[in-house]
């Protein structure tokens, strides 16, 4: 049976998709690539913003046009919030977020799919390589106990639920056996891992570093709270990559309070200090919301100043848009679109300057780079491949015609380059 898997949204959605892919292959399915025919479509939707809902509907319509005879299974936040929103799209099965771990078995039963029994085969070098991946996302937990005033995810994902350390460890073992070099541990509130099990993220990382052979272990987005000081000592292990995406959202404490965030700027700065005490090359990236309701010129100036003070290696910039069902959508003093656009341009320019400064600091160093493929838009004959440093910095290397994908290579960083319209990146040569 040919199955096409698609997702929108966060890395947690990617991790769930990867898990379904491995289970489907183990039960005798073939994962369809881009342009391939499919008998079954599985889509993991997103609803974090109204735009994400629109993209989810657009993706479903496109897949149905391309595969008119395929059955359609849909999960994710869009249908978990209100499955009726997508009801006109001819969906064969809706799997809410709380049942995602059983999606394959639910689809097999509800749609009478011709799958092999569970555990009938051993997982092979499977679906991740079929999708051209050297990195795998591993879901460690779901749900969030907090309610930021702009966030719909708590409603869509529900209460916090952590997987057992043994289950996560076994999944990583299977991935590394299949040749995966880097695993990314991800969750809705990853820092809260184990709150429902009497465990912690530090305990999980300790077990993964001790009991698995993954060459590189990385954390996905981690909210900047519930991180004790002992957590940072774990990054002394070179297998734990020195990069974290810590969502800040604003550099003004007054705005963070209206957002119902649990981390003030001083506390955030302390986390960055702890990280860089352990690894001076620790790369911190973040999210910033532009134009949150009531954001004043003074608060915006505070955000710009704080972003520059921290020296982020990367920014994800979001222009605030009201999300029905959140407290922020009902707040007064919504910021005009023209002001949001102007502030977004200003922050983007600052972010590019900070990113270039961070890249320039790497010049002359030797970095272990996981080679992932050919540079986008370049033919294989161009002999240029790209990969990521431990700090998650994109790096280009000339390969002299050799295909180096899925190898970790020491590269001496020569310079920072600007490849056309893309963001600046590093360029290195093999040591």
Q: Is 234 in the same domain as 251?
A: no
* Number of structural domains in the chain: 4
Q: Is residue 124 part of a domain?
A: no
CATH number of the domain residue 161 falls in: 3.30.750.210
Tell which of 241, 258, 276 closes a domain.
241
The pTM assigned to this predicted structure is 0.78
Q: Report the CATH number that the domain containing residue 324 is assigned in CATH.
A: 3.30.750.200
pLDDT score of 13? 85
Note the pLDDT of residue 8: 85
Work out the end-to-end distance of the chain between its first and last CA atoms, rounded to an integer number of angstroms. 45
**Residue 61 maps to a domain:** yes
Report yes or no on 359 lying in a domain. no
Residue 29 belongs to domain with CATH number: 3.40.50.2300
Q: Is the C-alpha dihedral spanning 104, 213, 369, 429 positive or negative? A: negative
Give domain status of residue 236, yes or no. Answer: yes
Residues 263 and 321 reside in one and the same domain: yes
Indicate the residue among 331, 353, 375 that finishes a domain. 353
**Other Cβ atoms within 10 Å of 321 Cβ, number:** 16
Q: 204 — alpha (psi -120 to 50), left (phi > 0) or beta?
A: alpha
Beta bridge partners of 6: 43
Domain boundary at 353, 374, 408, which? 353
Output the six-digit token pair for 235: 């990054």
Q: Indicate whether 125 belongs to any domain.
A: no
pLDDT of residue 158: 79
Q: Look at residue 87 in the predicted model and tell me its pLDDT.
A: 54
Asked if 401 and 303 sit in the same domain, the reply is no
Full residue range of the structural domain in which residue 25 is found: 2-110
Give dist(CA 244, CA 62) in Å, integer. 34
Q: Which residues of the chain have pLDDT under 50?
A: 118-132
- Residue 382: what pLDDT? 62
List b or e across 162-190, with b for residues whose CB sees 16 or more CB atoms inside 10 angstroms: bbebeebbebbebbbebebbbbbbbbbbb
pLDDT of 129: 34
Query: 156 and 168: one domain?
Result: yes
């Amino acid at each position: 049976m040919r199955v096409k898997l698609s997702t929108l949204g966060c890395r947690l959605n990617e991790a769930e998709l990867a898990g379904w892919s491995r289970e489907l292959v183990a039960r005798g399915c073939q994962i369809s690539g881009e342009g391939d025919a499919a008998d079954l479509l599985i889509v993991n939707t997103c609803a974090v913003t109204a735009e994400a809902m629109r993209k989810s509907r657009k993706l479903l319509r496109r897949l149905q046009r391309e595969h008119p005879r395929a059955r359609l299974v849909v999960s994710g936040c869009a249908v978990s919030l209100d499955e009726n929103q997508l009801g006109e799209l001819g969906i064969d099965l809706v799997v809410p977020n709380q049942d995602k771990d059983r999606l394959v078995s639910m689809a097999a039963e509800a749609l009478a799919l011709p799958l092999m029994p569970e555990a009938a085969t051993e997982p092979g070098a499977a679906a991740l390589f079929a999708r051209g991946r050297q990195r795998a996302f591993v879901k460690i937990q779901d749900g969030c106990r907090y309610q930021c005033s702009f966030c719909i995810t708590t409603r869509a994902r529900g209460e916090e639920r952590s997987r057992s350390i043994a289950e996560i460890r076994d999944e990583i073992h299977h991935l590394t056996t299949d040749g995966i070099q880097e695993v990314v541990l991800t969750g809705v509130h990853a820092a809260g891992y184990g709150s429902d099990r009497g465990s912690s993220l530090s305990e999980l990382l300790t077990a993964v570093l001790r009991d698995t052979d993954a060459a590189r272990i990385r954390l996905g987005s981690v909210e900047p709270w519930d991180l004790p000081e002992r957590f940072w000592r774990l990054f002394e292990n070179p297998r734990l990559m020195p990069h974290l995406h810590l969502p800040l959202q604003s550099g003004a404490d007054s705005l963070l309070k209206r957002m119902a965030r649990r981390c003030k700027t001083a506390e955030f700065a302390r986390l960055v200090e702890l990280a860089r005490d352990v690894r001076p090359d620790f790369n911190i990236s973040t999210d910033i919301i532009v134009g949150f309701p009531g954001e004043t010129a003074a608060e915006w100036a505070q955000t710009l100043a704080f972003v520059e003070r921290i020296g982020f290696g990367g920014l994800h910039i979001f222009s605030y848009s009201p999300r029905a069902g959140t407290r922020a959508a009902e707040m007064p003093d919504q910021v005009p679109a023209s002001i949001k656009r102007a502030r977004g341009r200003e922050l983007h320019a600052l972010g590019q300057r900070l990113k270039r400064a961070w890249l320039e600091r790497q010049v002359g160093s030797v970095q272990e780079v996981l080679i992932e493929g050919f540079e986008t838009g370049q033919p294989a004959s161009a002999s240029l491949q790209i990969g990521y440093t431990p700090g998650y910095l994109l790096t280009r290397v000339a390969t002299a015609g050799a295909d180096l994908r899925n190898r970790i290579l020491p590269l001496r960083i020569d310079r920072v380059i600007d490849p056309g319209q893309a963001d600046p990146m590093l360029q290195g040569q093999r040591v």
